[in-house]
Amino acid sequence: MKAAYYESFGEADVLKIGELDLPLLKEAEVLVKIKAAAVNPVDASVRKGLLKSFLPTTFPAIPGWDVAGVVEDRGFGARRFNVGDEVYAYARRPFVQWGTYAEYIVIPESYLAHRPVRISWEATAGIPLVGLTSYQCLFVAGKLQEGQTVLILGASGGIGTLAIQLAKSKGATVIGVASEKNHFYMSGIGADYTIDYRNKDIGEEVKKIFPHGVDLIFDAASGETLQQSLSTLRKKGTLVSILNRGENIDKSINFHYVFVEPDSSQLEELAKLANKGKIKVHVSEVYPLDKAAEAMKQIETHHTTGKIILVP
């Protein structure tokens, strides 16, 4: 199969495009022909070796954890899906080797869910990582309920885009924090209020709107943005972060660090919401597989609105 892969850790230029043998199809695994794969900032971190202490890598390694495609073959015992079924998945394994920047992937059937058929392949591929991250942060760790208020930091990126929409689907009030140029975009997908992190103190701005604070802070930005926001959290509120593991966080705060886990049942729920039009994926740019290095360089700018997609 054709794939983008790297044989050592490094910058985006270590990526090569070439032919690799398909992995053997084992028991309870499925072969998926990839229609689209999303590019995420974490892909670059993995490629640089920043996560190697808990995600061992075998070279040559194919990046990517988001996939949408069609079932091509099934291993022994894999019978949840039929050949020809359209599926999607968050394909992170306990190790890094066979990713989604390729024409095919072999993946445990338990990772797969039926894809939302009312949106494009590209939009489908943009859901798994950011959708599951938002779902697990808002609803599992954050226990967000109807009528509550959530402050989302880094609200215009891929994760923030899904977080705004999921929070609104639950009936929550959403404050989105991002640069001013993204405020119209955030409002368009459901944010009730928007705050510019560049020229204003986030804590002061939130208290002008909600003097008693917010129920949940979802941190997808960290740094000074997070520090300014802490004063807005109610005494019984919750802070959930995907970047901060608890550094410099007061021990009295109900804090959770989340590193997203595969969950096919949650993907099925996200597919239902997408089919109902409750969540939409903004695809900012589509690259051919040959341009995987360029796509990674773009995602590393951390100024992408929505999702970047690769198409084999």
**Collapsing DSSP states into helix, strand and coil, what is residue 298?**
helix
Report yes or no: 71 and 88 within 8 Å, Cβ to Cβ: no
Residue 259 has pLDDT above 80, yes or no: yes
Q: C-alpha distances in angstroms, 237 versus 7, 132, 148, 152?
A: 45, 22, 10, 14
DSSP H helical ranges for 171-246 = 183-188, 202-209, 223-229
Residue 31 in contact with residue 71, Cβ under 8 Å?
Answer: yes
Confidence of residue 306 (pLDDT cuts 50, 70, 90): confident
Confirm if 99 and 125 have CB atoms less than 8 A apart. no
**Domains of the chain (ranges plus CATH)?**
2-127+281-311 (3.90.180.10), 130-257 (3.40.50.720)
Peptide bond before residue 56 is cis, with ω within 30 degrees of 0 = no
Token output for 134:
């938002």
DSSP-based three-state secondary structure for 297: helix
Of 225, 253, 224, 223, the residue nearest 240 (C-alpha): 253
**From the CB of residue 109, how many other CB atoms can be counted at a distance below 10 Å?**
21
188 vs 230: CA distance, rounded Å:
26
**Alpha-carbon gap, residue 177 to 226, rounded angstroms:** 10
pLDDT for position 247: 85
**Confidence check: pLDDT of 244 > 80:** yes
State yes or no: pLDDT of 208 exceeds 80: yes
Q: What is the mean pLDDT of residues 110-136?
A: 97
β-strands 214-219, 149-153: how paired? parallel
This prediction has a pTM of: 0.94
Q: Which residues contact 5 (CB under 8 A, 6 or more apart)?
A: 15, 16, 18, 20, 60, 61, 62, 63, 101
pLDDT of residue 201: 93
Tell whether the model's pLDDT for residue 266 goes beyond 80.
Answer: yes
> In the prediction, which pLDDT does 158 show?
85
Q: Do you find a cis peptide bond into 60, omega within 30 degrees of 0?
A: yes
Instruction: Report pLDDT for 280.
Output: 92
- Determine the Cα–Cα distance for residues 78 and 95; give it in Å rounded to an integer: 22
Q: Does residue 176 have a pLDDT over 90? A: yes
Report residue 94: phi and psi, to 5°: -70, 0
Residues 33, 81: contact at Cβ < 8 Å? no
- What per-residue confidence (pLDDT) applies to 198? 87
Under the banding of pLDDT at 50, 70 and 90, the label for residue 303 is confident
Mean pLDDT of 286-292: 98
SS3 163: helix
Element at 88 (helix H, strand E): strand 86-90
Residue carrying structure tokens 């989302």: 152
| Residue located via tokens 């394994």 | 93
pLDDT at 305 over 90: no
Instruction: Name residues whose C-beta falls within 8 Å of residue 191's C-beta, 6 or more positions apart in sequence.
Output: 152, 155, 164, 174, 175, 176
87: helix, coil or strand?
Answer: strand
